[in-house]
Structure 1
Amino acid sequence: MAKGRNNLLGVGGQRKKLSRADQQGAGSARVADRKVAEDKKQELVRKMRERAEAQAATTTPADPAEQDTSAQS
C-alpha cells in the first residue's frame, strides 16, 4: 500500500476565489451581468430572424404562375 493513500490534498480541482460580498451572501453582480447579456443576445437573435423572414418574403414571388414556370424550366 502507498504511504500517501490518505493524503488527498489537491484532488478535485481548484476553488473559485470568493469576493468579500460573495462570502457574506450579498450575491454576485456577475450573475446579473450574465442575465443582461443573455437578454440582449435573445433580443438580437429575434431581430435578426424578423429581418431574415421579411427579406425572404420580399424575394419570393407572390404570383403562383411565376412559380409554375420556374419549376418547369
Structure 2
Amino acid sequence: MAKSRNNLLGVGGQRKKLSRAEQQGANPARNDDRKAAEDKKQELVRKMRERAAAAEAAPAQDAQAGS
C-alpha cells in the first residue's frame, strides 16, 4: 500500500516523553552535558586558532630567512 501524503503518522520515529520541568530545561544532567560539550568545542577552537596562527607565521619567517 502506498503511503498517503496527508497521513504522516509514524514518520520520524518516537520521542521521549518529557516532564514539564525537563521541557523547560531544568534537567541538571543535560545541563552538565551541554557544558562539557561547550568546553570541548572551546578547546578545539583554541587549538585550531593556534595552528592557523602558526601556519600564517611560518611562511612569513621563511620569506625573511630567504632574503
Could you tell me the TM-score, scaled by structure 1's length? 0.49
> In the TM superposition, what is the alpha-carbon distance from 1:59 to its structure 2 partner?
1.2
Identity rate, percent: 59
| Contiguous gaps of at least 5 residues in structure 2 | 1-16
Residue identity opposite 1:38 in structure 2: E
Could you list the per-position Cα deviations for residues 33-68 of structure 1 after superposition, in whole angstroms to 9, with x for gaps in the alignment?
0000000000000000000000100012453xx5xx
> In the TM superposition, what is the alpha-carbon distance from 1:27 to its structure 2 partner?
4.3
RMSD: 3.1
Give the structure 2 partner of residue 11 of structure 1: none
CA distance in 2 between partners of 1:36 and 1:46 (Å): 15
Which structure has the larger Rg over C-alpha atoms? 1
> In the TM superposition, what is the alpha-carbon distance from 1:18 to its structure 2 partner?
1.9
CA distance in 1 between partners of 2:34 and 2:27 (Å): 13
Residue identity opposite 2:39 in structure 1: D
| Contiguous gaps of at least 5 residues in structure 1 | 1-15, 67-73
Q: Secondary structure at the match of 1:17?
A: coil
Give the structure 2 partner of residue 48 of structure 1: 48
| Segments ≥4 residues shifted beyond 3 Å | none
Count of aligned pairs = 47
How do residues 49-68 of structure 1 correspond to structure 2 at under 5 angstroms?
Answer: 49-61=49-61, 62-63=63-64
